[in-house]
Amino acid sequence: MIDSALVKIEKQPSAFSKNKNGNEAAAAMMKALVYHGPGKKSWDEKPKPAIQEPTDALVKIMKTTICGTDLHIMKGDVPTVTEGRIIGHEGVGIIEEAGTSVTSFKKGDHVLISCITSCGKCEYCKKTMYSHCEKGGWILGNLIDGTQAEYVRIPYADNSLYPIPPGTDEEALVMLSDILPTGFECGVLNGQVKPGATIAIIGAGPIGLAVLLTAQFYSPAIIIVIDQDDNRLAVAKTFGATHTINSATENAIEKVMGLTHGKGVDTAIEAVGIAATFELCEAIIGAGGHLANIGVHGKSVTLHLETLWSRNISITTRLVDTVSTPMLFKTVQAHKLDPQKLITHRFKLDQIVEAYETFGNAAKEKALKVILTN
């Protein structure tokens, strides 16, 4: 998930957090990471969530992680997140209780939590565009309480959870809640990566590296990764990048044009979210190419139609739909994809404040993804 100051601002969090049975919360408490306004968070005691609708499931969190979006939330950049909200939209867990309408899961089942909630019934869900589900989308740790807690309530459980087969590495699967489908759907699928193609990935953070891993499903010939952090570029090399460019010290446009005989790349994937990196993509995209934006942009960018109008290109945007999650499961099981590679640090869940510290200083700590175990 990637943050946005503007997404889903129309939704009423109250519609999701109302507890139909006010006094039952008194019976059970849990610990959770709570947002208390810009710059303030703490590991608090909170009421354990309860089933509210027959389509809900209550999940005991086994493992969760922290997303770049969570850092933005903590800074106060995501106005839909209000004070008192439990953060987090990734994780694996065990069904504690399933609502009466839930048919795919029962108590004790191990599940992967999708960062996107899907009702399975609305116009958008029927088009498999779950990101825009009229009742779901990105609501976890945003409009309703999330996964950085001992328990979480998952609405529309049948369509928003995935069963974990026995014997699967559950830690690795935490990467399938958000980061891998995001990189794959918004970057690789939208970028139409093809065998033999030349692609550039701008940004070697966790999302950019998720693109790098999943782009190789399609065997591109040349994979250029561009970042300003030499450590991350070194990681990218070990993950399959054929070329890396440090755009802080090298002229990225010139270097890409050199590598492509002046033609530009077939696919350019923006995984940062600022104007400079998007405009770099515009500059290196070849005729007939695909520019896939993943980054969350807080500001507009300049689109150079005066040169691009005749270049036969596509530019795409997307909030992850998590429609590829079943496929990603299969590639993990088949050892075509190793999400473990993205995990650099591990903490106990009650060390989450410390884990935020590490993840928030990613460059210094050489951190990619952290795992929190309950």
- Restricted to residues 24-53, the positions that interact with a copy of itself (CB under 8 A) are none
Half-sphere exposure of 186 (CA within 13 A, CB side): 28
Cα separation of 130 and 60, whole Å? 24
Q: Smallest distance from the beta carbon of 217 to a copy of itself, in angstroms?
A: 4
Q: Which of 15, 29, 305, 353 binds a copy of itself (CB under 8 A)?
A: 305
Contacts 24+ apart (CB under 8 A), 354-358: 355/66, 356/41, 356/66, 356/70, 356/71, 356/74
Q: Rule CB under 8 A: is residue 21 a binding residue for a copy of itself? A: no
Strands 57-64 and 91-98: antiparallel
Q: Rule CB under 8 A: is residue 319 a binding residue for a copy of itself? A: yes
Q: Rule CB under 8 A: is residue 326 a binding residue for a copy of itself? A: yes
Do the Cβ atoms of 204 and 252 come closer than 8 Å?
no
Q: Which of 112, 296, 342, 362 binds a copy of itself (CB under 8 A)?
A: 296
Which residues, 201 to 260, sit near a copy of itself by CB under 8 A? 216-222, 242
Q: Rule CB under 8 A: is residue 71 a binding residue for a copy of itself? A: no
Q: Rule CB under 8 A: is residue 312 a binding residue for a copy of itself? A: yes
The residue behind tokens 């699928």 is 189
Q: Rule CB under 8 A: is residue 121 a binding residue for a copy of itself? A: yes
Q: Which of 47, 84, 163, 298 binds a copy of itself (CB under 8 A)?
A: 298
Do the Cβ atoms of 272 and 228 come closer than 8 Å?
no
Cα separation of 207 and 48, whole Å? 32
Q: Smallest distance from the beta carbon of 278 to a copy of itself, in angstroms?
A: 7
Q: Rule CB under 8 A: is residue 131 a binding residue for a copy of itself? A: yes
Q: Rule CB under 8 A: is residue 101 a binding residue for a copy of itself? A: yes
Which residues, 135 to 174, sit near a copy of itself by CB under 8 A? 158-159
Do the Cβ atoms of 218 and 188 come closer than 8 Å?
yes
